[in-house]
Amino acid sequence: NTGGEGSKHGIWHEAVPDVLQRAEWAGLSVTGLHMHIGSGADLDHLATVAESLEKTAHDIGRSLTTISAGGGLPVPYQKDELRADLSEYFKLWDATRKRLEDSFGHQIRLEIEPGRYLTAEAGILVTEVRAVKRQGSKKYLLVDAGFHTLARPVLYGSYHPMSLCPTSTTPPHELEAVAIGGPLCESGDIFTQEEGGFVSTRDLPPARVGDLLVIEVAGAYGFVMASNYNSKPFPAEVLIDGGTSRLVRARQTAEELFSGESLPQE
């Protein structure tokens, strides 16, 4: 959790007076106030957060020049999740900024963290079905991507929409419940899992080896969290602009994978 008294992040609000006193002793002026509350779309909760930030800003005083609405803007991964109302989001934070300007008599800059909002829905992960198997009560599709490629499901139990691209023009079939797993030697290498590591399923058309599975809303916290676990190379990245596609990052080769390693000289 990025917030709360037990989090490793930031300064708990009750400690702010002590921090300000320490800054004064060191001859430092506190000029910025950052608050990180996650990426929720609940404006009522956001209003409470903005009110708390405004109160802390007054505790800091006129040295303050910047407020930062940390936590980013939410992106809906599931159909029932709310999409951020950008107009209301801006109105709320800008009103806070203006009140602080009136109180302090100088300009206050507002910063936001729009990263995931800009990139998440712009990226998809395309992976190939390498095996179809039944294990116990579940049917599995095993693909060539894993948590070395997209770590969010294993880290947070994150949900990503998925669709299947068959390699042959087969007639449509009824959907079936399948679990999606990767190639790594870890039981947690599952794309269809809930928080806590519980394996769930998705309803997809019957798949064959060689079909392509598309994992959607994968443009944020994807490549930047990728690894070479199990000596797996980084995937290629392709930019699609309208009807044009262009390779913007080449697939990592085996030579590149081991290029940074060296053995001691005898």
Between residues 231 and 168, which one has the greater pLDDT? 231
Domain CATH for 62: 3.20.20.10
pTM of the shown model: 0.87
**Mean pLDDT, residues 196-217:** 94
Tokens encoding 103? 């109180």
CA distance readout (Å), 257 to 82, 165, 222: 41, 30, 19
Rounded Cα gap, residues 13 and 35, in angstroms: 10
Please indicate, yes or no, whether residues 220 and 143 belong to a single structural domain of this protein.
yes
- Single out the catalytic residue among 26, 185, 248, 254: 185
Q: Are 217 and 152 in contact (CB under 8 A)?
A: no
| Residues 139 and 50 reside in one and the same domain | no
CB-count burial class (<10 Å; 0-12, 13-18, 19+) for 6:
exposed
CATH of the domain at 201: 2.40.37.10
Helices (H), the chain: 16-25, 43-60, 86-104, 115-119, 152-156, 254-258
At 84-129, the pLDDT tens digits run 888 998 999 999 999 999 999 999 999 988 888 899 999 999 999 9
CA distances from 57 to 51, 125, 219, 254 (A): 10, 42, 34, 52
Q: What percent of the chain has pLDDT over 90?
A: 70
Q: Is residue 266 part of a domain?
A: no
Whether 110 and 155 map to the same domain: the answer is no
Q: Cα dist. 30→55, 64, 66, 151, 189 in Å?
A: 15, 6, 10, 36, 44
Q: What is the pLDDT of residue 170?
A: 63
Residue 165 known to be catalytic? no
Pick from 116, 139, 164: which residue ends a domain?
116
Contact 104, 54 (CB under 8 A): no
Question: 162 and 46, same structural domain?
Answer: no
Let me know if residue 8 belongs to a domain: no
Q: Of 40, 84, 82, 49, nearest to 68 (Cα)?
A: 49
The number of distinct structural domains making up the chain is 2
Give the up-direction half-sphere exposure of residue 180: CA atoms within 13 A in the CB hemisphere. Answer: 32
2, 39 Cβ separation under 8 angstroms: no
Domain of 24, in residue numbers: 13-116
The 10s digit of each residue's pLDDT in 132-171 is: 999 999 999 999 999 999 999 999 899 999 999 877 666 6
Specify if 85 maps to a domain: yes
Same domain assignment for residues 139 and 109: no
